Chains A and B, each alone.
Chain A
Amino acid sequence: MEGPRACPTPVKPAVVRVRDYRRETHDTFTLVLDPPATGGAAFRPGQFNMLYVFGVGEAPISLSGDPGEGGGWVHTIRAVGAVTRALARLRPGDVLGLRGPYGSSWPLENARGRDVVLVSGGIGLAPLRPVLYHLRRHRAEYGKIALLYGARSPADALYLDELRAWRAAGELQVLLTVDRGDPSWTESLGLVTALFDRADFAPDRAVGLICGPEIMMRFTQREFAKRGVADERLYVSLERNMHCAVGFCGHCQLGPSFVCMDGPVFRYDRIRTFFEIREA
């Protein structure tokens, strides 16, 4: 995990324009934004922005685009409540407020030369997609790469065309599963943890990156542990209530950590004690 970097706008958002809107699934969409004039578009995979819809409110949303592209900022968002539904109504040319990027990032440096296993559930794939772009761009620097992704149903699965194209190109192993299939679904059925037996990686040199519902992350950690991947080589991205994203508002605390600034990406052994306490 790499630490946060300085942000010039601790409380005041910049106003940015929507460059592109894409519907992903029945409840999930992607916005491509013009980066703010100041600061450029640089971010590290795992970081997030605070997106503000005029008069409605603000929500933390991960960057889910290609970190090496230098183009727009890409956010894939599931419409679940007031702010995310308002974000879903934005179209190219519309404006919104943005501050960031905030938070820690996935350990791309430490993972160099190792096998990388990415395990994600639902919208949890969005914060991991920048890692996949990075790994593909620097393919020779890494060992085996496996993506294990679970969604509720085929209609809920994100980025399917892109993932299948990457699989077809032979650059990484892509294992997909859904809780409930349909006649068109030819991939696995069941929990994401059931994909582990088919994942191709060497436990002694693997790094695991996990993002999804907390219950899924707990079971995923156990699968890694069973295969001998130590907690020191596992990373999780956590979600908490966030109002400020700069460690002032207090909402995101988990034991000694402020998830917004010490996370959202944590090396598992460093957050384990508190992550495993119920209602911590």
Chain B
Amino acid sequence: MTEPRAANPLFLPKSRLDDLIGQLAAAGFEVVGPRLEQQAIVYGPIRSASDLPIGWTDLQGPGSYRLQRRGDEAYFGYVVGPHSWKKYLFPPTLTLWHARRTGDTFTIEESNDEPPRRALLGVRGCELHAIAVQDRVFLNRAGQFTDPFYAKARQRLFLIAVECETAGGTCFCTSMGTGPQIDDPLDAHSAPRRGRHAYDLALTELDDGFVVRVGSAAGQDLVARLGLAAAAPEQIAEGRRRVAAAAQAMGRWLDTTDLRQLLHRNQEHPRWDAVADRCLSCTNCTMVCPTCFCSSVADVTDLSLENAQRVRKWDSCFNPEFAKVHGGDFRPSIRARYRQWLTHKFASWYDQFDVSGCVGCGRCITWCPVGIDVTEEINAIRAADGQRRLD
């Protein structure tokens, strides 16, 4: 996570992935990565390579997700599932503080929830970018505010990126400039508007092992302990070829030209009414999105009324309570809520954080129960740029 080293790529045989996992565990990391659970690939504890979804892939389309056997034994032969890594940095539920009555006053103690040191195994290019996007939200915000839990959890991460070699049916990372290839952190300035990113190790999967690139001093230490040999030029070339093939097969495309201005100037476009007819305001898209950061707090007490706590939970701009104040609701219609979500992600985010709020992972398309597709909605607005609803 500190100074990147421009070392030559190494080779990790598949039989030695368990050594890498073991070294991380020995160094005090909780290793988490992709697992098969309830017919989906989700992120959870990984004790050995056998916990990985070996030989499985995910077939994704608007409103549909299905697992299928691959014809091979690929370890990371899927795309992304309904979970994102944000649950480890920005947990779905978090107690912020406890308050206790003492005599005629009360005291407030910040919650001492300590995030563990975690190694994330299998972070995709889009997901590295998503973490970098949330860094801009929660760390040193406007030079003033830092979320204390996020900062601690983030500092304790070890990131093992794995490049995609299978393009998903709903992905558009090539449009957003976030994948499938994982750029060397040394080249990160080549995508200045899309967020910095860094990894400790970046893996490219081959049939019998992984080409390993080192992105940090911590990554360097780890590979030194494993004593890996240099990757052969043919292995490096084969990895490049596979990732390039995934880029060619990308499921979706989004024209991002002037996207911010396009959406800002089309706030009264009739397409918002058309999408509101289909949208159920179910919040799925915001829950699965790796960059969505909205939350609510609830202040709760125990039965004795002596102890209180403030609990923060993920919230969504689709929830009916979201924009209410006493005496009114600023966004009563689904049309306005959908417009808020889409224009925030693809337009206001640039104003706020100088980066796109979307990294093109496709989750919101896959997990929308009615298959609403952000790329299709935006393309429709672009195709009829400037049209206004009647009223």
Contact = CB atoms under 8 A, between A and B. Distances in A.
Contact of A13 (B101, B108, B325): B108
Nearest to A247: B141
A55 B323 contact: no
B88 interface: no
Interface in A226-280: 239-241, 243-244, 246-251, 253, 255-256, 258, 261, 273, 277-280
A12 B97 contact: yes
A11 B94 CA distance: 12
Contacts of A143: none
Contact of B330 (A10, A240, A243, A256): A240
A255 B347 CA distance: 9
A115 interface: no
B296 A12 contact: no
A11 B330 contact: no
A93 interface: yes
B331 to A, nearest CB: 5
Contacts of B108: 12-15, 97
A71 interface: no
Contacts of A13: 108
B258 interface: no
Contacts, number: 127
Interface in B312-353: 315, 317, 322-327, 330-333, 335-336, 339-340, 343-344, 348, 351-352
A58 B299 contact: yes
Contacts of B315: 249-251
Of A6, A240, A247, the most chain B CB neighbours within 10 A belong to: A247
Contacts of B296: 243, 249, 251
Nearest to B344: A253
B96 A12 contact: yes
Nearest to B149: A11
B99 A97 contact: yes
B147 A248 contact: yes
B67 to A, nearest CB: 33
A56 B299 contact: yes
Interface in A90-105: 93-95, 97
Interface in B272-323: 293-297, 299-301, 305, 308, 310, 315, 317, 322-323
A139 B293 CA distance: 46
A211 to B, nearest CB: 15
A188 to B, nearest CB: 25
B295 A11 contact: no
A277 B322 contact: no
A55 to B, nearest CB: 4
A168 interface: no
Given A7-B144, A248-B141, A279-B336, A239 B325 contact: yes
B339 to A, nearest CB: 8
A81 interface: yes
A4 B144 contact: yes
B89 to A, nearest CB: 13
Contact of B294 (A249, A261, A273): A249
Contacts of A4: 142, 144
Of A240, A243, A273, A277, the most chain B CB neighbours within 10 A belong to: A243
Given A7-B144, A11-B96, A80-B326, A57 B348 contact: no
B107 interface: yes
Contacts of A97: 99, 108
Given A12-B96, A57-B299, A241 B323 contact: yes
10 contacts: A10-B145, A12-B97, A15-B106, A54-B101, A57-B299, A80-B327, A81-B326, A247-B142, A249-B315, A253-B344
Given A241-B323, A253-B340, A253-B344, 5 more contacts: A95-B104, A241-B322, A243-B297, A249-B296, A279-B330
Interface of A: 4, 6-7, 10-15, 17, 52, 54-58, 80-81, 84, 93-95, 97, 239-241, 243-244, 246-251, 253, 255-256, 258, 261, 273, 277-280
